[in-house]
Amino acid sequence: METEGFWINVDPKTGMPARISERFTRELDSTVVDQHLHWHRWITPEVSDAPERSFPLRASDFDPFDHVNNAVYWQPVEEAMGKNLREQPFRSIVEYSQPITRAEQVTVCERADGRTLDIDVDGKTRASARWFPLARVCQG
């Protein structure tokens, strides 16, 4: 298994990203192979005329900063994948562009390609997800 991640410091007063202190960065650097972020967008933003469906949020979906917990974004993805989720291995990606906060009305719009969806608030995409099957690996 291979994983990549990056740290985002959240300012406790504003709930928005803030600079990480140099002292904390030094501590993080001791645990990584490459400390530079190599990120590019995989999912191109797109205006869609596909029907949207409501995606109600629960009180338990929020973190201490009143942002939707990252795991919640996976719920509509798994729902859209349906039975395909168990038929073969997939790579799935969720790209977050802006947090969803308490009291916002969320909708989900599946794109025509059948493997991409957008999670929107007031017609603006806050996150997009895409999934695609991985080639099967023969064992033996």
pLDDT tens readout for residues 11-39 = 888 877 888 888 877 777 777 666 566 66
The CATH number given to whatever domain includes residue 81 is 3.10.129.10
The verdict on residue 94 lying in a domain is yes
Distance between CA atoms of residues 17 and 21, nearest Å: 12
Q: What residue type is assigned to position 66 of the chain?
A: D
Non-local (6+) Cβ contacts of 51 within 8 A are 109
The verdict on residue 84 lying in a domain is yes
Predicted confidence (pLDDT) at residue 1 exceeds the cutoff of 50:
no
The verdict on residue 27 lying in a domain is no
Q: Count structural domains, the chain.
A: 1
| Residue 107: domain span | 42-133
The verdict on residue 34 lying in a domain is no
To the nearest whole number, what is the mean pLDDT of the chain? 83
The 3-state DSSP class for residue 95 equals strand
The number of C-alpha atoms within 13 Å of 8 and in the hemisphere containing its C-beta is 9
pTM of structure: 0.72
The verdict on residue 19 lying in a domain is no
Exposure pattern of 6-23 as b/e (b: 16+ CB <10 Å)? eeeeeeeeeeeeeeeeee
The verdict on residue 122 lying in a domain is yes
Q: Which long-range contacts (CB under 8 A, 24 or more apart) does 109-117 make?
A: 109/48, 109/50, 109/51, 109/52, 109/53, 110/50, 110/80, 111/46, 111/48, 111/50, 112/48, 112/50, 116/43, 117/76, 117/77, 117/80
The verdict on residue 33 lying in a domain is no
The verdict on residue 56 lying in a domain is yes
**Which tokens sit at 62?**
């929020």
pLDDT at 21: 81
